[in-house]
Each structure stands twice: as structure tokens, then as C-alpha cells.
Structure 1
Amino acid sequence: MQKHFCESLTPLLPPQLLWKQAQSFPLFPALGEMESHMFECVNQAAVHEELEDETRRLCDVRPFLPVLKLVTRNCGRAERLLDSKIGVLIGKGLHELDAINDQEVKDFRSKMFRMSEERMQRVQMMTYTEWLQACFSPQLEPTAGTAITDGLNDRPADLKVIIHFDQSQVRVLSPVGVKKQGVEVHILTLHYANSAHRLQVSLSSLTFSLQQVQTCVWDVSIPFKIVLVKGSKVNAEETAKVQVRAGLFHGTELLCKPAVSSESSGRSDHTWKDSTLEFDISVCDLPRMTRLCFAIYAVMDKVKKQKSTKNHYPIAWVNTMVFDYKGQLKTGELILHCWSSFPDELEEMLNPIGTIQTNPYTENATALHIHFPEYSPHSIIFPPFDKVRHSVLLIEMHLWRVKICSARLMSSVCSVCFHIELKEIMERDALSQLCENEKDLIWTLRHDCIENFPQSLPKLLLSVKWSKHEDMAQLQALLQIWPKLCPRDALELLDFNYPDQYVREYAVRCLNEELSQYLLQLVQVLRYEPYYDCALTHFLLERAQGNRKIGHFLFWHLRSEIHMPAVSVQFALILEAYCRGSIPHIEVLKKQVEALSKLKSVNELIKLGTIKNARSKTKEAMLTKEAMMTCLRQISYSETLSDLYSPLNPNVLLSGINVEKCRYMDSKMKPLWIVYNNKLLGGDTLGIIFKNGDDLRQDMLTLQILRLMDRLWKEANLDLRIVPYGCLATGDRAGLIEVVSSADTIANIQLTSSNVAAAAAFNKDALLNWLKERNSGDALDRAIEEFTLSCAGYCVATYVLGIGDRHSDNIMVRSTGQLFHIDFGHILGNFKSKFGIKRERVPFILTHDFIHVIQQGKTGYTEKFGSFRQYCEEAYLILRKNGNLFITLFALMLTAGLPELTSVKDIQYLKDSLALGKTDDEALKQFRQKFDEALRESWTTKVNWMAHNVAKDNRS
């Protein structure tokens, strides 16, 4: 059958061809109905793709191998088609999620399926106008009617009955909940099966309230411990001894001293004599979000000058939660597959900020087998909030007299001094450390913080003794009366340092505005959420499904990182939930995914062509460009790449490619320069750059911060004409960049004005003449004003962010005068060096030819230059006022895996550049020194630009 089928392949995929050939085979009747089967293949993304759409072209399927498998449909055609589309769209087949043997995954998918189904039913009931307003609201972020579910209180009320067994009789006493010996039975249907009085119960809602068969964790005062069963596939030298270190963390706070195992010898498998690790903390004092972090390391003897020392070499690490997603203390054996890549500067080799997901590549991963002991014959559960609130009332009654005594003591000593000290602490930046005395003061004056310093909640949270469940309970009660923070202040509470469930739910409740501005960070902090069903996930899905533009960017932010093992399952679950609740959006996104796949194919074709023709650059360029244009003209390519909404901006329709203007760029990864005709722009063209092989996430972050700076300046009535062009990561080291129209690089402007590349960088008239050629009269004055404002904005922004690699091809100017920077591969002061010498010696780029334009060619420092300097100083002071916001946004990106943002030390650059901790006068004095330094050392920039221009000229 396979032979005949392969001989009959056509450009389309109708099953009728197979059925026609199969009729001559003896077992044909066993196949059943044609409609109950479909084709399946493994596509180029290594995803099982179900080919439900029979009109698709074979050339669009792109299987990994030229084999199609006939499979039986397991459910309705519509459901299978939707599942197949979602699997291909998100880049992870839903059968992979089906195969995960994890109850948390199953419960989350079931809940999301129900919620998505209800949402789509509501959408179907909408009028066309209502649907347009819901999906394409002119207000980007709807603030009314948004429901935030916490995953606990959104279930419909169950029908409660109590069953009384009296020999052969069964009675339903009441449809309301009646407790008998602390047990409730929730049943939907109840009837006799036959005369033998056998009872059949519908299991659709059978639950038990285990008041007597569950133990509250606060009642267990035994020290917490775990048992090390064994370690396998441990990659250590034969002569090394292997140890395990374990620590309990709440965020980055170590709850007690780490426990360390005895040493073990062996090749690959290890067991430890003292296999029980006991911690200096009772079970009752474990916070709900406690992480158990392990580090496996080798111990080697090192002899130096007759002194023997021990050296520790990390081998692997892994983390797990102490409570499961239902709040139950874990028991029994658990196998943890470890990670071998260690971040820099880990304290005691423990990595609490790392993922709690185990390594999915189990074949070669080190495995740590542990056992959680049982402390009670019943399951141990973390108390629900109503019990927390009851405990707080008792604690507050007990502490009321202490509070009165404390108030008397403060008044007798110097309560004013305490409040002055508290105010000073609360005004510090987010990176400042608190000493124990300061934490005690904040906690003592926590009620004063509510009234006078509500924005100080993060510092109060850092002052809580999370290893005391009484303090934790009081904090959770305080959150119920804490004033609502503005979104910019609430963002900090989503940092890893604040893992408490109620804190994060409070933070999400504050995020009613400015969601799109911080969506990049909100997606990244999903990594900090230990459980799939959380307030942040519900919030993002609710907002995304209520607004198409937010949904668009949520989709791409998640999909671009779905290849990362630590978040692959989590992001796939959220993407599946979004797609199921936004079915009309699927086809739009699918078109974009297919278009990006085509562009990747073109890029790979070009890379292959340049390798083959590397000896002759001219021949290479001609043949490769011709091959590229031939490819783009193919029907399958032109159809896929036309009439799609731009991933960079879903409001822009890319109607058709202008093949003649398309090209590829002369850099290592051969980015594609794709030009579109756009019907909505009145015949104008629109350009996008497709990159394959470069990680654009750092550029995306930098441009987001530039956009935020522009917004903050405008709020202060200062428009510095920033050009935060579009940039979007769409996959593993792939993405799109918006082409800014009518713009050219400083390098090109200089080179076209001089016959000698080496001299071009020193021609101070080149830039001004370029603007004069494109503007005259009043237009020239406006262009110079645009240049002055934008130059001031980028001088301040690049200084604050520590943007490096500022050669003349990374700075551009529009014909309207706006100057802007591109390519942000080096940030936070990571300036490029050569032979150990820094190539960039200035705090920001301010050359004399820039000053020449600002002063309209006049010599000496004029009034125009004074205005420019004033713009810079004003812009700098505005950013300083929002210093904590910038620190927070970078801190929320710490686990994203950006090459130059890996630890808090990287963010320290922002604190220094913004002079946080200093007065405005002191900070302004520092900035003025940097401004003068940039002017004084600008000759070094010109030398670097000369070298760059010469190298560029030689390449061409």
C-alpha cells in the first residue's frame, strides 16, 4: 500500500488517493470509514503534525522525513483539527502534553479547557460590535470587568448531601452540607443499581472535606528532614569524594543553616552513610513557598607547601518545592534529574533562583533520589487563609498589650527618632541591603508603614521572619488592609525575593494599568511561579484574551522561548490555554508562523550559497541574490509571505513583497532585508529585517527601556524625539527588526562625503551637509532642532544604560533630523576591548561633528549648545526620579538568560550611573563631569570610527 501511495503523491493531500489504491488489498474493509483517519508526520520542528487540512500543499507540510503515517482519529474532527493547529502553532505537539504523567499538568489543562470553553461560548453570544470592542478595544488595557481568579475560589458550588447507611436503606437527608465526624460527601447523582441495593454514585463531583484525616502543618513541631536514597550518573573523578548540600529557601532568604551529607566514593552511583539530612527548622515554620535546593559537588584534596586543603567542585544542582501545588507537604520518594550548568557567584553552590523543573533530558542527567518522610498518619496540609486569619486574631490579641508597652517605650525614649530613621530607610533604592536592626525596626513599625509609607511594602516583606509562621500569618493579614500600590511600585513584588502566594496575588491586583509597557517582564517572572495555576497566569490570559494586541505579544513572548527546557512545559500550557480561548486569532498567528518559517528557509539558502561561493565575493553576491529572489517569487513563498499582519505590529498589514527591493545584509548571519508594499500606507513601502542566528532579546529589552524613558520624559513635558523602533524575538536566536524609513548610518554619511575612508570620520561638515541636502529653510531649522533633542535623549539614555559598541554603523540619522542608536549587544557597561584595552573610553557618544550640527555650523559654544546641555541635565534628573523602576525591570529579567544580565552585580551599573543614594545636586555634579569627559575625549571616538570605516571600506 505504501508503494502505491508514494507513486501517487500529488501537490495536495486528499485521502481519497490512498483509499483508491487501498481498495485492491485484502484487508481494505478493516480500515473502516475514510473520515475516521488522517495523515500524520514529524515536521521540521520535530513536532508531530496532524494533517487535518486536506487542501494543504505537500510543499507546505515540510516533514522531517518523507513519510506520512495514517492514524485513526480519537475524537471529533473539529477537536482534532483544533488540537493539530494549536500544536503546530505553539511549536509543541499537544500529544507531548497528554503524555506528561503529572497531576498538576492534568488539573491545570482541565481547568483551562473549561474556562476557555466558557469564554468561547460567551464570544459566540456577542454581537459583531461587542466582539470588535472586546478584541480590538481602542483602550489597550481594559480596566473594568477584569476577573482575577486565584485558582481556589472560582469553582461552582457543589451540591452537598450526607448519606446515611442503615442496613439496606439509603436516604438523602438534605441538599445542604451536613458534617458527621468531620467528613463531608459531595455527590451529584445517587440511585440504586438493582435489588441487591448496590449504590452507584456519579464521580463527577465526589470530594471529601478531610477535617479529621488531614493535619495542619502548624501542628507539626518536628524538625524537617529528608533522606538521601542515592545519586546516579554522577560525573566525578574516581579519586573524588562526593557530597550533597541541601538548603531551604524562601526566595533568596536561607531559612536555616544548610545540611550537608557525608562523603561518598564511587564512579557513577553514590550512597551516603548518614543519609538523613535534618534541618534546624520545624515543619510548622516552613513557609508555603519553601524551596528545597540541592548541590552535588566533588571534594578533592589539594596539597600546597605541605598543607592539605579541600577544594569543592560543583557537579550538578536541582530544586524542588516542599509543598505540592495543592498545599500538601510532599511525602515518599522523588527522583530529581539535575542541571549541570552553574550560574556564576552562587553562595555555597545552591541555586535558589534556578528553576524547580527537573532536567527533561534524563538520559545523561545526574539523578538524585530522595525520600520525604511522613510526620503524621494523615496528609499534612498548609492552612487555608481563613485559618490564617483566625490565628492572626489570636496573635494580635496576645500582642496588643505588647504593642501598648512598646508605644509607651517609644514615647519615653524618642519616637520621633525612630520615625526619622524609618523614613531614611524607606527612601533608599531597591538594591540597598537592610541590616537586622533595620529589619526589626520596620517590622515593629509595620502599622506606621501602612499609613505613611505604603510604597515601602517590599522592604517590609524583606523584614518578615519567614521561618516563624506567626509572623507570616500577621503579614498575610496586613496585606488585606494594605493600600493599593501604583503598577510601577507593585512590579517589584513580582521579583524572586517575594515568593509568597498572597503577596503575588496582591501585586497582580495592582496591575490594572500599563500592562503592555511591562509585558516583557511579566512573561519572564512566570519563571518564578512554582505552580502553573497562579494569579499572574490568570491575569495575563484574561487580559490577552480580552485584547487582541496584548494577546499577540503574549503569544510571541512565550513562543520565542518555548525551546528552553526550564519553561517549555509551563509556556506550552499557557499558550494552549490562550489559543483555546482565542480561536479566531489562531489563523492570524498561524499565517505569521508559516511566514517566519519561509524566511528562515531563505536565510539558510543564502548562508549555504555564501559558503559555496566564498572564493569570489562578486560571484557570491550575484548568484546568492538571484537565488533569493527566485525563491521569493515561488507561489508557495509569495502566498505565505503576503497579506499577513506584521508580528512587529499587529495593526500593520503586510500586503505583498516587493521582491526587487529585497536583499540580504553583509554580516555574519546574513539577515534578510524584506520590503513590503503596503496598501494602507498609500503605496509606500515598509521594511523588516529577519535575523536567524542572533539572540534579539537583549535588544528587545533595551528598546523597551528606551520606550519607557521616552514616556517618562513626555510625562514631564520633555519630548526628546526618541525612535524606539520595533524589535521582536520570535524563536531560538531568531526574530524581526523594524526598518526605520528615510535613515542612514553615520558611517555611510561620512563615507559618501569623502574619497578616503580614513579621513571620512574627521569630516565635521559631512553630517550637516547631509541634512542641508534634504532640508531647506524652515525645514532645516526643524531638522536641526530634531537632531538636538534626539541627540540629548540618546546621550543620556546610552550613558544610564551603559550601552557599548557605539561605532558609526550603530548610530543613524533620519532625513528629518532625528538621531537614533541601533544594535544593543553590549549594555550595562560591558564595553568592548581589544588586547585588554577598552576601545570605548567615553561615557557616551558626543562628537564635535554632532556639536557642529547643533550649533548650525557656528564655532564656539553658542546658546544652542547651552540649550542642548540643559536638555541633557533635565532628562537625567527625570530618569533619576524613576531609578527604582529601572532597577526593578532589569531585576525581573535576571533569569531570562541574557548574556550581560546574569546577576544583581550587573544591575549595580544602573545604581552608579543614576547616582542613586546621592542628592540631586551631587548627582548633577557627577553627570556634568561625565558630559565634559565625553566632549574632551571625543577624539578617541573619531579614531575608533576611522578604524571602523577603513575596515568597512576594505570589506566592500
Structure 2
Amino acid sequence: MPPGVCYGMQDVWEKGGREQVTLEFLLPTGIYLSFPVARNDTIGTIKKMVWKNARSEPLFSVLSDPDAYVFTCINLTAEREELEDESRRLCDVRPFMPVLRLVAREGDRVEKLINTQISLLIGKGLHEFDTQKNHEVNEFRAKMRSFCEENAQDRQRLPWHQWMKCNFPCDLEPFSMVVQSGKSCSVKKLLVNVKFEASEVSHRMLCTHLVSHNTPLINEEIHNLDIQEKPENYTLQLPVCLPKARWEVEGGRWVWVVWGGLCEIIGKRLVVQAGLFHGGELLCKVVTSSEVSVCSDPVWDQKLVFDINLCDLPRMSRLCFTLYGVLEKTKKQRSTKKKNKKADCPLAWVNTMVFDYKDQLKTGEFLLSTWPSAPGDLLNPMGTVERNPNIDSTAGLLIRFPSFRPHPLYYPPLEKVNRTASAINTPRPTNLNSHLKLKEIVDNKNHTEFFEHEKELLWKLRLDVRAHYPESLSKLLLITKWNKHEDVAQMVCLLRTWRDLPPLHALELLDYTFPDPHVRSFTIRCLKKLGDEELFQYLLQLVQVLKYESYLDCDLTTFLLERALSNKKIGHFLFWHLRSEMHVASVSLRFGLILEAYCRGSIYHIKSLMKQIEALNKMKALNDFVKSGSQKSASRLQITEDMKLCIKQDTYMEALSDVISPLSPSIVLSEIWYDRCKFMDSKMKPLWLMYKNKWDHLDTVGIIFKNGDDLRQDMLTLQMIQLMDVLWKTEGLDLRMVPYGCLSTGNKTGLIEVVKNADTIANIQRNSSNNAATAAFNKDALLNWLKSKNPEDKLDQAIEEFTLSCAGYCVATYVLGIGDRHSDNIMIRENGQLFHIDFGHFLGNFKAKFGINRERVPFILTYDFVHVIQQGRTNNSEKFERFRECCEQAYKILCRNGTLFVNLFALMRAAGLPELSCSKDIQYLKDSLALGRSEEEALKNFKVKFNEALRESWKTKVNWMMHTVAKDNR
């Protein structure tokens, strides 16, 4: 140290000779900063300045929140001092040297900070998990925390180059380019391998685990269900139903109050119905209680007996209840011979498992808070087994599980099941006709319902199915008698030696129809073969089928967390897929626990996600501001100017800038360009937000923020279009599709990627005509627009792009049954690519007006499209025939992969989309993909649809004209 340095610093603090002092800062990432600060600045102010300067430095993203760190210095007494009180001024601190070191805080404060951040991220306080006082929740949290933190520690022990690759994958990190003398070159920065003190402290602090409640009681004897014992019927008691003041008298009639709504009880009686299910299969006859009078506290005191032996209960048996009001019988009804249905007014339903998460048969009393029924719904085996957390606005059903023994009963372990299976002889028919019939059954892709003789044949030849048709495992599982323990034991034993299925075939087994834990474990074993990109392609479905899991701890959860922690892209989208449904009461507990586990195992990701949450909150506030202005009938120009002024505020600029795009973690939304931001005309006033490109200021990145529309159906449709594009390209067919980004981020909120240099067909047609009524019939409008955007040497390529993309979207919209196709939701890019937007109706759920179906054609193929494809020449049939061939080739490729699409849509039934809720919706897809038909039959049917679309295209033009006129008259 040069002589006189300490005396010089002391003179600064005591005499205040200078207003500013140049300080040196040492960051925990090993980065060194130096800049001047005012001697009267507080430590808190200086920390903010450090963070601002560190943003442009390497490794900034590995830093945690500023509150996780504290400055240290050497004070005038030559001691190391932690500057906890950040309100102190620098001149009061009086460091011995102008050096401040930033270190991670130690102790409980770090833990509390991380807990607070996780609570903000998942939108649910972690204390809510503690207040559950639920052993299953506590054990799951402890296990997942241990698993995720060990995973994080394993990453910390990686060699530095592997650590960098894991935490900063090249495909996700922004790639900067600069232009020098007309040539682009990458900007390279030197990174130094350093000790990450902050990360080590964070992980050290997170090593404290919750106490597990899974320890068996001392001297507790475990008794398994003895499958050789004397059969007993399974029973439970229904001592009382407690609707908890959910009834009111209105006009002399009892009224059922559900979540603020009213449902009139027709008649004077209430009934409870109960069924035992395994997946969607009813294990025995439904049991119905006696009828009781409607009152504020109805009571049933009776025993419900199910016609199934106790030893035959499968492991995943679930009890499903429904409460309904009985219709009063009229004289006409009494005279009919048909039995009257007793479920005319369903009120509530609830499900519960027969065995608990520890394999123990439930005993004792349980109060089940119910869920409100939709009209026409009765027993709901596909529904959740979680109890309704809104206990103040729902009925509570009190049931009592009887004790069959003086000691607890557990489901038999695998060893005992295998012994049972080995004791049963398996006949092996050798009849040639039987084997031919078996081949016919397994070859039929659309064959999911079987006659009794087919079931018998499949079961008798189950060893042959395993040996020769392993991909037909789902068919064998469907015909297994899950209410016979002998058959269950044989199926479980058979599964142990079943060879792994291709992952895309195994996806089908995640449906709620296949709840057996051995089946689901087998499925996850197959899915582990998926590469990261393939897994990402199906992540949306994998998150949804978590809703079918009966217990918190399951193989699917562990699998998703493991892959999310090892791949930043998967982790990013797993977070958003879970976070977007935290408002759904039936899954908020499960999804919240998984989110907590992910955050604890990925501490480095917390800061980026919090920034995204903050940006989305500002977007919502901005959207509310715009809607408020619109309701006050302010002019569009005035609202737009006020919106821009709002964005220019420091709090908005800071929150909306330098944020990782939730749509893609490889895109940084650097600086919001408020002058180019606007809002759109539709009812919910979506925000159109533009950002400057950090590396090219002439370029922009655009996103649309929607608040009030459910984007999940758009997400699913775009996922399917993306999958189609992958399948086509795999077969050498590039149809220039534009599956733009779309992400649901919360309850009816989300983001959509802006496709640059594109316009709607409606705008192009309107701008080429003075009359809105005739604009839709101007066949030259599209071609002329393409000519204006593409000089002569580029026009042929633009028409080629149009031809290929038009073929792709014709096939895609037909197969998916996309409806509401008007000229404002079909767009064209300046390079010629056509693409569709706004997928509010699919699977044949088409719009109707005044009882008339507005969708008159299988897909959109108008004469102005044909005019572009034929390059403006009516006799150019060669170009059109090539277009037709592209459509047919694309359709055949999708038909070959039809089962995959059907399975993916079936798994999405758990999402609760209004247009994907029953087998009828799935049947539309089976029909459009011609499942069960030969390729020749499928192609013949498609040719008929193609000709129909072309012949009836004038009806589309009429619809477009009506849409344009209606829009102009708004």
C-alpha cells in the first residue's frame, strides 16, 4: 500500500475535502467495478448504483436479489465490518480504504428472503402449505426439497465448463452481432473461472430439510390385504351430509347456493350417489342412498354396500360421490313404465381414494368438501381427488370408512402380487384363426371398444401381445378386469417383462384411464428416452396429466423436475405452464408444491422469473388503464397518448425493460419503444408492445399482451401446428409454416408473439378497394400486394412461399377443425407466407348465427388464393396441381401419425377447455385423420373435401364480405 493512503482517506471523511470519492467494488462473481460516488450517499443508494453498473458485466445473471448481499469493508480500526444498516451515509462508515466488498448474507435472513421470493413467484404464500397440517404435503415437500437441492449441489460440483454449459446453454443465451465494414462478427468477452461464493452460501442455507412424517410407529405391525382370505364386501357409512348453510329459502322454495350462484331444487328430496372406479372403469354397481328432505342440515344415516370383495379392490380405487335433487314425479311420469332418472338436478360432486398415499386402507371419518356440478354431470371419475379449499362456499360430505380388522390393512407389496400371479396357469391357444383375429384387433388403430369374445381372446393371448405386439399394451390394459385381484396380479407381473415402448406410443398410457402405479412407472421409464427437444414438444400435455395423478408424490412429477433442472428451457416453460393455473383451486396445491421445489433447485433462475412477473404485472396495470379510458369514451388518440406517458414513467420503464421474454428465454426484451406501443381494437384491448433490438437498433421485437381471453386453446392449436411442421420436415416437406409464440401466463392472461412484416387479408383487401362490400371479391388484391412488396426478381419466390404455406394451413385447419375463419384472422407476410391466427374454435365446434352454420367449407381455399398460386394466369394448371399434390402429401403424413395427435388431444382433456371435454370432440379428430381406414380410403375422402372447399369458396367470400361490412359499421 502506498504511503499516506490511509491518512488521505481519513482526511476525506473528516474534512470532507471532496464531494465525490472513487470507490472500488468487489462482486461475489469475481467482477471488479470502479466508479465515483458522493460521500453523503447512503449504503443503500450505493448498492443500487452497483447493481445498475453490474448489469452490463459478465455473470450478472448468477447474482441473486440485492437484498441477499451485504457490503463489507475494513474500518478505521482495521476490523472487518458488515454494513447491515444501509441507511448509513458513506462518510459515517469511514472505510479505511476506498474498497467495498459485496458478500452473501448468512443466517436465517437468506432463508426468509428465498421463501419470500418463492411465495411471490408462485402467487401463494408458503405458510399456506404449513397450515394444511397434512402429512402427505409435508412429506412431499421434504422429499422434493431434498431431491432438488441435491440436484443443484450436483450441478455446483460439475467442472467449470460443464457448469457453464448447464447454466448458460448456448441456444438460450442472446447472441450479439455487430457489423464492421459490411461483415458481421460476434462480440467475444473473456470469462474468468471464479469461486461463486453467493451460490455456495445459498445452497448451504437450503440444506435444512423438513422433518419427515413417514417414519413408522415403533412396534407397529403392518398387515397386508390377504387375497386368500374369505371374501368380504366393501362398505362405508354415510352418517351425515353437512351443506353448511349453503341453503336458503326463496319464495317458499329451497335454493342451493354455490359460489354466489343459485340453483333451484326441483322437488323436496336429496340423494347421494356413490361409485367405485378404477380410472374410468366402474368396478361394481353404483350405490344410491335413501332420499331425505331438503333442509339446511340434511342427514343420511345408512350403510352403503358395494358389490366387490375387499381383496379385489385395486390399488388406485377411488370413490366418487354426487349430490343431487330429485325431480318431482308428475302424473304423466308415474304412468310410464320407464324408470325415472333420479339425477335431474346435480348439485355437487367429490372424489376420494380408498387407499391413502402410504398404501393403507382408509378408516375413520372424513369430511369431504365438494365441488359444484355442471348441468348434466353425475359421477365424475376424471375429476380431482383433492378437496375443495373454498370450504365456506361449498357443501361438506361426511363419510365414515369402517375398520375391517383391529389393525391397519395395507395393499399387498409387489412380491406378494408376483407370487399370486405365478400360481396361476396361463393357457396358450394355438388356433391359427385366433392369432389372425388377434392381429386384426391390434392393427385397428381406432379400436378401443371391444366385444366380449374379443376381450377373452386378447386376455388369453396376452403373452403373444407382449411378444409380438408390445405397442398394443393399452388395449390389453383396457380389457383387464381390475376388479379381480388374480387378473391384476397377472397384468402387473406381465408388465415387469414388457419391453420399453417408443416414447410417443407410451404417452397414451398417461391418460386417466390407466391409473395403476406400475403402469405409470413403466410409462415414465419409456419417456426418459425422449430428448430435450422432443420432451419440450409435449411438455404442455405432460403438465396437464399431472391432474390425473392421485397422490402428490409420483414418478411423473420427479421426472419433470429432474429434466427441468437439467435444461433451462424446459424449466422456464414448466414454470409458466404451472404458474398459469395457480388460480385453479383443484390444482393450486399440487402445482404450488412443484413450483416451490423447482425454485429451490434452481435458485439462479429466481431473479429472472421475478423480473418477468413484475413486467407482466405492469402490463396488466397498463391494460386496465386503457380499458378504463375506453369505458369513459375517451378518443383512441387520447388514450394512446396517455398510455405512452404512463410507459415513460421510471417505474414502468424499469419494470418493462431488460426482461427475459416469457415467450422465449433466448430473447431479451431490452428497451421498450414507447412511441411505437399501442392497443388493439378488440373487446379486451390487447396491448401491442414494441421493443428495440439490443444488438440492432433498426430492428424491433413485438409482443401482444392479452388480459381477459383464455389463450390455452390457442397454445394447443399452435403446438399441433408446430408438431405438424416437424413431421412434414422429417419427411422432406417444408411448408413454410409460421407457428408463432403464444403463452398463457395466468387467469385469462398471456402473451402472443408479433409476427413482423405481416398484414391481414381484410386490411389488404380494404386498402385495395373503395367499397367495403366489394373488397372481399377483388381477386387481384393479394397478388398486387405481393408484387408491391417483392420486386420482379423476388416475386416468384414470394408466390412459392404463399403456395407452400397455403397448402400447409389448408391441411392443418381441416384436420384440427378450425372454425371462425374470416379475413381478419388470416395473415400474409411480405415474403409471401400465409398463416392463420386466433384459434377460438376447433375440433368442429363451429360458429352459428341465427341457427345457420357459418362454416360452409372444410377449409379456406378461395379463388383469390388460387389466383396467386397460378401467378395470375387462369390457365396455369401446372402450378395448381403441384399445390394440390402438396396438400395430399401433407395430409397423408398426418394420417400416418394420426394416433399421436389423438393421444395428445386426449391428454389435454384435463385442461378443462370448453371445446375439448368429451369423446365427441376427440371423435372429430379421429374422423378427419381417417383413423382405422387405409391410406387410399383416407386420401379419397380428402380429395372430396378439397374439391368441396374449392367449389364452395364463394360462400367464404360472402362471409368475408359480411364480416368486413359489420366491422366497418361498428
Please tell me the TM-score bracket, short chain as reference.
0.7 to 0.9
Q: 1:53 to 1:115 in 2, by over 3 A?
A: farther
Q: Say if 2:232 is the partner of 1:222.
A: yes
1:425 match: 441
Q: Does 1:629 align with 2:658?
A: no
- Which residue of structure 2 aligns with residue 151 of structure 1? none
Q: Give me the whole-angstrom Cα distance separating, in 2, the residues matched to 1:683 and 1:588.
A: 26
Q: 1:422 to 1:54 in 2, by over 3 A?
A: farther
What is aligned with 1:370? 399
CA contact (8 A) 1:661 1:675 kept: yes
Unaligned runs of 5+ in 2: 1-41, 46-66, 69-83, 88-104, 173-210, 248-255, 257-264
8 A contact 1:217–1:283 mirrored in 2: no
State the secondary structure of the residue aligned to 1:945: helix
Distance 2:216 2:561 in 1: 28
Cα deviations across residues 902-922 of structure 1 (Å, max 9, x unaligned)?
111111101111122222222
**Match for 1:325: what amino acid?**
Y
2:564 paired with 1:544: yes
Aligned to 1:231: 241
Cα displacement string for residues 230-276 of structure 1 (whole angstroms, at most 9, x for unaligned residues): 11226564942211111100000000111111111241222225x10
Deviation at 1:393, TM superposition (A): 2.4
Amino acid at match of 1:215: N
Equivalents in 1 of 2:241, 2:570: separation in Å?
Answer: 45
Residue of structure 2 in register with 1:604 after alignment: 624
Amino acid at match of 1:488: L
2-structure distance, mates of 1:438, 1:457: 15
Distance 1:248 1:494 in 2: 21
Deviation at 1:431, TM superposition (A): 6.2
> What SS does the aligned partner of 1:280 have?
strand
Structure 1 match to 2:111: 79
Tell me the equivalent position of 2:498: 482
Aligned length: 811
Letter in 1 for 2:444: R
Within the alignment, does 1:905 sit opposite 2:920 as a pair?
Answer: yes
Structure 1 residue 139: deviation in Å?
8.8
CA distance in 2, matches of 1:317, 1:660: 53
Q: CA distance change for structure 1 residues 845 and 553 in 2, over 3 Å: closer, same or farther?
A: same
Distance across 1 between alignment mates of 2:953 and 2:924: 22
Q: Is residue 621 of structure 2 the alignment partner of residue 589 of structure 1? A: no
1:861 CA displacement = 5.6
1:948 matched to 2:963: yes
**Matches of 2:480 and 2:170 in 1, distance apart?**
43
Q: Check if 1:574 corresponds to 2:594.
A: yes
What are the residue-to-residue correspondences of 1:695-706 with 2, within 5 Å?
A: 695-706=710-721
1:885 is displaced (CA, Å) by 0.8
329 and 205 in structure 1: CA distance in 2 versus 1, 3 angstrom threshold:
closer
Instruction: Using the aligned pairs only, state the percent identity.
Output: 57
Cα 1:681/1:712, change in 2 over 3 Å: farther
Alignment of 1:54-69 (within 5 A): none
Report the more deviating stretch, 439-448 or 841-850: 439-448
- Equivalence for 2:34: none
* Distance across 1 between alignment mates of 2:711 and 2:215: 50
Counterpart secondary structure, 2:293: coil
Relative to structure 1, the CA distance from residue 862 to residue 93 in structure 2 (aligned partners, 3 Å threshold; closer, same or farther) is: same
The CA deviation string for residues 389-422 of structure 1, in whole angstroms up to 9 with x for no partner, is: 2332233xxx05xx2xxx4xx44xxx22111111
Deviations 1:738-786 (A, max 9, x none): 0011111000111111111111111100100111111123421111111
Relative distance call for 1:598 and 1:212 in structure 2 (3 A) is: closer
> Which digits, 9 at most, give the CA deviation of each residue in 1:682-723, with x for residues without a partner?
641010000000000000000000001111111111111110
Report the Cα distance in structure 2 between the residues aligned to 1:304 and 1:421, rounded to whole angstroms. Answer: 52
Selected match of 1:894 from 896, 902, 909: 909
Q: Which residue of 1 aligns with 2:382?
A: 353
Amino acid at match of 1:695: D
Worse overlay, 425-434 or 828-837:
425-434
Instruction: State the partner residue of 1:338.
Output: 370
Structure 1 residue 129 and structure 2 residue 161: aligned? yes
- Of 479, 504, 512, which aligns to 1:496? 512
Determine helix, strand or coil for the equivalent of 1:689: strand
Within the candidate set 295, 307, 314, 1:267 is matched to 295
TM-score w.r.t. the length of structure 2 is 0.81
Residue pair 2:139, 2:212 contacting (<8 A) in 1 also:
no
Instruction: Give the Cα separation in 1 of the matches to 2:791 and 2:635.
Output: 42
Specify which of 285, 299, 316 is matched with residue 257 of structure 1: 285
CA distance in 2, matches of 1:340, 1:791: 45
1:53 positional shift: 13
Name the CA distance, whole Å, in 1 between partners of 2:218 and 2:760. Answer: 69
The residue correspondences of 1:452-851 to structure 2 (distance < 5 A) are 452-511=468-527, 512-513=529-530, 514-612=534-632, 614=633, 619-681=634-696, 683-851=698-866
1:852 equivalent to 2:867? Answer yes
Deviations 1:795-831 (A, max 9, x none): 0110011000100010000111110000000001111
Q: Which amino acid aligns with 1:384?
A: P
Q: Distance between the aligned counterparts of 2:226 and 2:141, measured in 1?
A: 28
User: Residue 538 of structure 2 aligns to a residue in which SS?
Assistant: helix
Instruction: Quote how far apart the aligned CAs of 1:115 are.
Output: 1.8
Output aligned runs, 1:31-42, within 5 Å: none
Change (3 A) 1:681 1:489: farther
Alpha carbons of structure 1 residues 456 and 470: separation in structure 2 relative to 1, 3 Å: same
After TM superposition, list the pairs within 5 Å mapping 1:862-901 onto structure 2.
Answer: 862-901=877-916
Distance 1:731 1:53, change over 3 A: farther
Q: Which secondary structure does the structure 1 equivalent of 2:732 belong to? A: coil
Select which of 288, 294, 299 maps to 2:321: 294
TM-score normalised by structure 1 residue count: 0.82
Aligned to 1:438: 454
Q: Counterpart of 2:149?
A: 117
Distance in 1 (CA, whole Å) between partners of 2:655 and 2:753 is 20
SS across alignment from 2:722:
helix
Distance 2:283 2:170 in 1: 48
Whether contact under 8 Å (2:267, 2:328) holds in the other structure is: no
In the alignment, the residues of structure 2 paired with residue 227 and residue 885 of structure 1 have an alpha-carbon distance, to the nearest angstrom, of 44
Residues 437-446 or 499-508, more deviating = 437-446
Partner Cα separation in structure 2 for residue 601 and residue 570 of structure 1: 29
- SS at 1:218's partner residue? coil
Displacement of 1:311 in angstroms is 4.8
Q: CA 1:809 to 1:306, structure 2 compared with 1: closer, same or farther past 3 Å?
A: closer
1:327 to 345, 359, 362: 359
* Alpha-carbon distance in structure 2 between the residues aligned to 1:593 and 1:720: 36
- Report the AA paired with residue 388 of structure 2: N
Offset, 1:954: 3.0
Structure 2 CA distance for partners of 1:361 and 1:265, relative to 1, 3 Å: same
Instruction: Pick closer, same or farther for the CA change 1:122–1:929 going to 2, 3 Å.
Output: same
- Residues of 1 paired with 2:157 and 2:688: CA distance? 44
Q: 1:937 Cα shift?
A: 0.7
1:687 is paired with a residue whose SS is strand
Q: Letter of the aligned partner of 1:230 in structure 2?
A: V
Map of 2:102 onto structure 1: none
CA contact (8 A) 1:493 1:504 kept: yes
Task: Report how far residue 209 of structure 1 moved.
Answer: 8.6
Q: Distance in 2 between matches of 1:203 and 1:82?
A: 22
Q: Which residue of 1 aligns with 2:207?
A: none
Structure 1 residues 385, 138: CA separation in 2 closer, same or farther (over 3 Å shift)? farther
The question of whether the paired residues in 1 share the 8 Å contact of 2:139 and 2:213 is answered with: no
Q: CA deviation at 1:430?
A: 4.8
